[in-house]
Structure 1
Amino acid sequence: MTSLLIAIHVLAAVLLMGPVMITVSAYQSQMMKAKDGDTKALGAATTLHRLTSQYGPISAIVPLAGIAIFLTNLSVFGTQGRFHISILLSVIAWVLLIALIIPRQKKTLEALESGSNAVDFTKAKKQLSMFGGIFNLLWIITALLMFV
């Protein structure tokens, strides 16, 4: 059972977290190009947001599978603090994605599509870059903790 859960956990991390990490990082540059009237960039920003908002919630499989692995073999994983930290960091990263990154992307994309100037795109870019960087860093630390 543990082997199956580990396989699900690793596959979900590779197939879901990789694309989300890339889309979270790439959105800001396309948003700024779209702000300047680039229609191709608007299409790219729309696609990046769609991928982030669809893969993001599904990526909860990664920390959930990690918790399941942890609980099914508590005698092995429960005594190692790196797994406690990994689960905590991945949950924080996922909450950051759902609560801060996706809503900000949605808000800026709606402003781009409507042609509204209600959004300060420079500030939004800085915030999205910061939160995206933190999100990616948390996942990189989590991945490194799995192999230490």
Structure 2
Amino acid sequence: MTSLLIAIHVLAAVLLMGPVMITVSAYQGQMMKAKDGDTKALGAATTLHRLTSQYGPLSAIVPVAGIAVFLTNLSAFGSEGRFHISILLAVIAWVILIAVIIPRQKKTLAALEGGDQVVDFAKEKKQLSMFSGIFNLLWIITALLMFV
């Protein structure tokens, strides 16, 4: 059972986290181009947000499967602090994605599409870049901890 859960955990990390890490990083550039009237960039920003908002919630499979692996073999994983830290970092990263990044992308995209909201795009670009960087860094540290 543990081997199956590890396989699900690793496959979910590769198939879900890779695309999400790329889309959260690429969105800001397309958002700024779209702000200046580039319709292709608006389409790209829309696609990047759609991918982030669809793959993002599914990426919860990664920490959930990690916790399941951890709990199925406590004798092997319970005494390893790196696994405790990895689970914590993965959950923090997921919360940042769901609570901060996706809503900010949604807000800026609505403004780009002619919504009523007034958005300071320069500020949003900085904030989204910061949170995207933190999100990606947490996942990189988590991945490294799995192999140390």
Q: TM-score, normalised by structure 2?
A: 0.99
Distance 1:4 1:76 in 2: 16
Name the % identity.
Answer: 88
Deviates more, 1:113-122 or 1:130-139: 113-122
Gaps of 5+ in 1: none
Matched, 1:55 2:55: yes
Cross-structure match for 2:126: 126
Q: CA deviation at 1:107?
A: 0.1
CA contact (8 A) 2:42 2:112 kept: yes
Cross-structure match for 1:108: 108
Equivalent AA in structure 2 for residue 84 of structure 1 = H
Q: CA deviation at 1:116?
A: 5.3
Q: Runs in 1 of length 4+ with deviation above 4 angstroms?
A: none
> CA RMSD, aligned part only?
0.8
Cross-structure match for 2:31: 31
Gaps of 5+ in 2: none
Describe how 1:75-114 pairs up with structure 2 within 5 A. 75-114=75-114
Distance 1:117 1:76 in 2: 52
Matched, 1:42 2:42: yes
Cross-structure match for 2:18: 18
Aligned residue pair count: 148
Distance 1:117 1:65 in 2: 39
Q: TM-score, normalised by structure 1?
A: 0.99
Cross-structure match for 2:68: 68
